[in-house]
């Protein structure tokens, strides 16, 4: 590869980074994609790995395989630990890397609002490791409950508390209800899995607050019908291995549970703070404030996109940290870099909202498209179609389509395996 060509370094192989690379496929530039993992992860379906509906490889594709036909890009398995903006040099764990243009798309991580000690007992869902940890926790709980003779301990093992009533929390809760009432029915000798309690705890007045009121009500009713208990205006006060203490209004009480799952918040990756000189460049959620061209103020060759960036739409609304936004920003930055190289006019970034959706359970979802809001089976079918289309590799689409079809017909979850790493204490 010609080292004299304009060098574009992209940090992060998620939606934003990958779509930026693709936007540059036909350009006469040199691209280096840096990621600490060798695969692109389809995060919207992580909850299906966590609940045994899909296997890890169904939603993850090797980055080198995805980009094997793009000759102007090389992939570097490394992690950004610093930057010298004046020298235009990235500091990586294994080496340093110079750049002419830089795109930062390192995503987000779980955020416990200053209570990082909760992480040990309430795993979040941002990585494959998180999903497998939660899968182990769910299915191990039923196995242990089947062997438990103490009624109180058994109840604790069969109580699942999800902190957060956004799309991830609701999708997890719906899947757990189906696991308890359908998938594991008749699987155990000493327990009835349908006795499991699925509890969603959310601090807002309603779950799925980003949706229209009618859709929120529909989702609430659908999730309740599946068997979930929904606690709104309720906040987690403390979490330990025995359960969670919550505050509902002026009332504080305890929920005993061996299975607390965190879905209440995320924060930008630590890379954001490497890019700024003071905290005034961050918003209240620690995202980097970017220009109308998605650049770091003062550095028109450094782009920040996806969950890491604070940007607004034409109406002044903050753009959410979703896959469609990241993909749109990735395409935009790739095209803008080329426009600058060709001395063409630079257009401010504009996001055209395509809508949002959330699946509640089997054949039930809600969909808000702006021009139409609907729910139930049609929304579920559209959710399936869109998520299949967003999967990067054709092989993944085919496998997931077959797996979903089989699960729908048999009401089974074939990936409900309890696994341990080779050095796990539980495996010794």
Per-residue confidence in pLDDT tens, the chain, 428 aa: 567 899 999 999 999 999 999 999 999 999 999 999 999 999 999 999 999 998 998 899 999 999 999 999 999 999 999 999 999 999 999 999 999 999 999 999 999 999 999 999 999 999 999 999 999 999 999 999 999 999 999 999 999 999 999 999 999 999 999 999 999 999 999 999 999 999 999 999 999 999 999 999 999 999 999 999 999 999 999 999 999 999 999 999 999 999 999 999 899 999 999 999 888 999 988 999 999 999 999 999 999 999 999 998 878 889 999 999 999 999 999 999 999 999 998 899 999 888 999 999 988 999 999 788 999 999 999 998 888 888 877 677 777 877 777 776 666 776 788 886 544 545 44
Please indicate whether the domains covering 7-36+78-110+267-341 and 116-264 agree at the CATH topology level. Answer: yes
Distant-in-sequence, close-in-space partners of 60: CB < 8 Å, separation ≥ 6: 39, 40, 41, 42, 128
CATH topology of domain 116-264: FAD/NAD(P)-binding domain (3.50.50)
- Classify residue 64 as exposed, middle or buried by CB count within 10 Å of its CB (0-12, 13-18, 19+): middle
Cα 137 to Cα 225: distance, rounded to the nearest angstrom: 24
**Cβ burial 217-237 (10 Å sphere, 16+ → b, else e):** bbbbebbeebbbebbbebbbe
Q: Give pTM, 2 decimals.
A: 0.92
What does the pLDDT look like over 95-118, one tens digit per residue? 999 999 999 999 999 999 999 999
Cα 237 to Cα 91: distance, rounded to the nearest angstrom: 39
What does the pLDDT look like over 212-253, one tens digit per residue? 999 999 999 999 999 999 999 999 999 999 999 999 999 999
How would you classify the pairing of strands 364-368 and 356-361?
A: antiparallel
The CATH number fitting domain 7-36+78-110+267-341, selected from 3.40.50.720, 3.50.50.60, 3.30.450.20, 3.40.950.10:
3.50.50.60
If you search the block for the tokens 């007045």, which residue do you land on? 205
Per the structure block, which two tokens stand in for 409? 């017909």
Catalytic positions, written as ranges: 171
The per-residue DSSP string of 300-333 comes to: EEEEE-GGGEE-B-TTSPBPPS-HHHHHHHHHHH
Distant-in-sequence, close-in-space partners of 236: CB < 8 Å, separation ≥ 6: 118, 163, 201, 244, 245, 246, 264
Instruction: Kindly list the domain boundaries of the chain, sorted by start residue.
Output: 7-36+78-110+267-341, 116-264
Strand extents, DSSP E, 85-218: 89-92, 96-98, 101-104, 108-110, 159-163, 197-201
């Amino acid at each position: 590869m010609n080292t004299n060509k304009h060098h574009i370094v992209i940090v992060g192989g998620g939606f934003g980074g990958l779509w930026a690379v693709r936007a540059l496929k036909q350009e006469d530039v040199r691209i280096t994609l840096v990621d600490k993992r060798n695969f692109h992860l389809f995060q919207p379906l992580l909850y299906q790995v966590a609940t045994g509906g899909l296997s890890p490889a169904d939603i993850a594709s090797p980055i080198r395989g995805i980009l094997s036909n793009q000759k102007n890009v090389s992939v570097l398995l490394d992690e950004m630990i610093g930057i010298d903006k004046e020298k235009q040099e990235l500091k990586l764990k294994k080496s340093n890397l110079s750049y002419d243009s830089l795109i930062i798309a390192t995503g987000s991580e779980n955020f416990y609002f200053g209570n990082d000690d909760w992480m040990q007992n309430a795993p979040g869902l941002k990585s494959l490791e998180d999903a497998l940890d939660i899968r182990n926790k769910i299915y191990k709980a039923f196995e242990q409950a089947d062997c438990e003779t103490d009624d109180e301990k058994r109840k604790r093992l069969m109580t699942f508390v999800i902190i957060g009533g956004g799309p991830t929390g609701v999708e997890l809760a719906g899947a757990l209800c189906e696991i308890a009432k359908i998938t594991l029915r008749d699987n155990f000798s000493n327990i009835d899995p349908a006795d499991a309690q699925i509890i969603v705890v959310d601090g807002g007045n309603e779950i799925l607050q980003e949706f229209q009121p009618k859709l929120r009500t529909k989702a609430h009713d659908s999730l309740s019908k599946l068997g979930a208990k929904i606690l709104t205006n309720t906040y987690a006060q403390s979490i330990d291995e025995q359960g969670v203490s919550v505050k509902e209004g002026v009332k504080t009480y305890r929920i005993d549970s061996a299975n607390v799952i965190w879905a209440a918040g995320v924060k930008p990756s630590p890379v954001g703070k490497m890019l700024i000189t003071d905290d005034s460049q961050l918003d209240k959620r620690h995202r980097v404030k970017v220009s109308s061209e998605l650049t770091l103020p003062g550095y028109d060759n450094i782009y920040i996109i996806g969950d890491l960036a604070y940007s607004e739409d034409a109406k002044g609304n903050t753009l959410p940290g979703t896959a469609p936004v990241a993909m749109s920003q990735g395409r935009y930055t790739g095209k803008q870099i080329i426009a600058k190289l060709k001395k063409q006019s630079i257009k401010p970034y504009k996001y055209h909202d395509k809508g949002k959706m959330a699946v509640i359970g089997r054949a039930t979802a809600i969909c808000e498209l702006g021009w139409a809001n609907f729910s139930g089976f049609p929304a579920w079918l559209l959710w399936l179609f869109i998520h299949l289309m967003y999967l990067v590799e054709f092989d993944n689409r085919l496998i997931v389509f077959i797996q979903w079809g089989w699960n729908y017909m048999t009401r089974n979850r074939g990936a409900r395996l309890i696994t341990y790493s080779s050095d796990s204490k539980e495996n010794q």
